[in-house]
Amino acid sequence: MIDPPATRQSAISGGKRRIFAGIALVLMLLLGAGLLLQHRLRQQQLWNRLLTTDSTRVTQGRELTAFAISKARPLYASHCAACHGADMHGDRSKGAPNLVDKYWLFGDGSVFEIERTLLYGVRSEQSKSHNVTDMPAFGLTGRLSAAEIRNLVQYLLQLKGQPHQAAAATEGRAVYFDLAKANCADCHGDTAQGNSNYGAPDLTTDVWHSGDDAEVFYDAIYSGQHRSMPGWIGSLNLAQIRALALYVYARSQGIADD
């Protein structure tokens, strides 16, 4: 049976429509694939730029910084927040320092120094980690008596400008500088402002990683401190570590929000 001409014309039009629709679908798919590819290439370029840009200049590019922060946020949440807190304010119970207070135990807080800490950690038993020394247990080892430690605590309170016993603080100061006893000045310095090569904190500030009352000071001097942090090299790739360093730097400088 032969269809009438009008019906045939309609069938042809329907076939053409299907062909056009198919072509349009293919074009859209190609366009989508192209855009996806372009996005991936762009991302790859940014990862590469993140690593190849000098760490002193890496914060100057707004796009790069935004990219790094967007990639670093989930990494921080999964790798760092457990100790340093989601808000980066640290955790005194763990001795994990505040990362946004502009005081740095190790290094000067530059992207490069933060990256070094992230790469190799602190006292992580990797030879490249920050591991020059740690806070000795002056009481447990018998190097200082309880009275000497109490006096030293009073001196620390005096340094911080807090209420203290003046006579005991004077005795404590002598212990602080006594080469044969505490010799605190060797690491914390004559002015007690710390040494970031050793991870010795500034004792004149209100920044205390384990607490800021006399009891905590006493315990730190009596039992010592051996804070550690894992190195992430091998667990995270170099670009991820750079992104994290940039993120922490940006937060510490108030460039980025959490």
Chain centre distance of CA 28: 43
Q: Is position 123 an interface residue for another protein (rule: CB under 8 A)?
A: yes
Distance (Å, whole) CA 233 – CA 68: 18
Q: Is position 112 an interface residue for another protein (rule: CB under 8 A)?
A: yes
Distance (Å, whole) CA 213 – CA 157: 8
Our CB check for another protein shows the closer of 152 and 159 to be 152
Task: Please select the residue that binds another protein; options are 18, 39, 102, 226, rule is CB under 8 A.
Answer: 226
Q: Are 154 and 172 in contact (CB under 8 A)?
A: yes
Q: Output the smallest distance, CB 210 to another protein, in A.
A: 12
Q: Is position 11 an interface residue for another protein (rule: CB under 8 A)?
A: no
Q: In the chain, helix, strand, coil percent, each to 5? A: 50, 5, 45
DSSP H helices, 53-110, are 62-79, 81-84
Q: Is position 224 an interface residue for another protein (rule: CB under 8 A)?
A: yes
Q: Is 144 helix (H, G, I), strand (E, B) or coil?
A: coil
Q: Is 195 helix (H, G, I), strand (E, B) or coil?
A: strand
Pick the piece of the chain touching another protein (CB under 8 A) from 148-156, 157-165, 180-188, 238-246: 238-246
Task: Please select the residue that binds another protein; options are 125, 190, 206, 213, rule is CB under 8 A.
Answer: 125
User: What's the Cα-to-Cα distance from 213 to each of 125, 144, 153, 164, 252, rounded to whole Å?
Assistant: 31, 20, 9, 11, 25
Q: Is position 61 an interface residue for another protein (rule: CB under 8 A)?
A: no
Task: Please select the residue that binds another protein; options are 48, 60, 70, 235, rule is CB under 8 A.
Answer: 48
Task: Please select the residue that binds another protein; options are 178, 239, 255, 258, rule is CB under 8 A.
Answer: 239
Q: Is 196 helix (H, G, I), strand (E, B) or coil?
A: coil
Angle at 246 between CA 244 and CA 248, to 5 degrees: 70
Our CB check for another protein shows the closer of 134 and 186 to be 134
Q: How many residues does the chain have?
A: 258
Give the number of C-alpha atoms closer than 13 A to the C-alpha of residue 59, restricted to the C-beta side.
17
Q: Is position 170 an interface residue for another protein (rule: CB under 8 A)?
A: no
Task: Please select the residue that binds another protein; options are 67, 71, 104, 115, rule is CB under 8 A.
Answer: 115
Query: For tokens 């340093």, what's the residue?
Result: 84
Our CB check for another protein shows the closer of 16 and 40 to be 40
Q: Is position 66 an interface residue for another protein (rule: CB under 8 A)?
A: no
Q: Are 110 and 116 in contact (CB under 8 A)?
A: no
Which candidate, 166, 202, 167, places its Cα nearest to that of 184? 202
Pick the piece of the chain touching another protein (CB under 8 A) from 27-35, 98-106, 136-144, 178-186: 136-144
Q: Which of residues 138-157 bind another protein (CB under 8 A)?
A: 140-143
**How big is the site for another protein, counted in residues (CB under 8 A)?**
29
Our CB check for another protein shows the closer of 165 and 222 to be 222
Instruction: Tell me which residues touch another protein (CB under 8 A).
Output: 47-48, 50-52, 55-56, 112, 115-116, 119, 123-125, 127-128, 137, 140-143, 223-224, 226-228, 238-239, 242
